[in-house]
Amino acid sequence: MDARITTTCPSCGSVVLDPDDVMVVVPDEGPGWYLFDCFGCAQRVVKEAPPAAIAALSRAEVAVHLVPAEVAERLVQPPARALDADVLLDAVLLLGSTDDLAPLAAQPTR
């Protein structure tokens, strides 16, 4: 017996999907979600999935992807200065002008 999954699309209403049409994402922290591409309107639909829904979808052999917490980590503050083409070219020219890197390392950054 093949599993059929019934859910809703915000545009099309009720849709019936095969397990291969749905993907479940479960992060280490926070709620999980599932997503599918609606055949009626061709839009990707993402819905929150409580643990009971994740268990049911897993039993229906839907692909479940576990996401480690490190993926969600955010940079607390941006770098002081972005590395752009000018900065990179300056560094190449500076490094090419000497064989002794110790004095360069002692110079303050601008």
pTM: 0.61
Would you state the pLDDT for residue 77?
62
Rounded Cα gap, residues 61 and 54, in angstroms: 11
The H or E element containing residue 13 is strand 13-17
Would you state the pLDDT for residue 34?
95
Would you state the pLDDT for residue 45?
96
pLDDT in tens, the chain (110 residues): 478 999 999 999 999 999 999 999 998 887 899 999 999 999 999 999 999 999 999 999 999 999 887 776 765 666 666 678 888 888 888 888 877 777 777 776 65
Rounded Cα gap, residues 69 and 27, in angstroms: 7
Looking from the CA of 99 toward its CB, the CA atoms found within 13 Å total 0
Rounded Cα gap, residues 79 and 66, in angstroms: 30
Tokens of 83: 């590395």
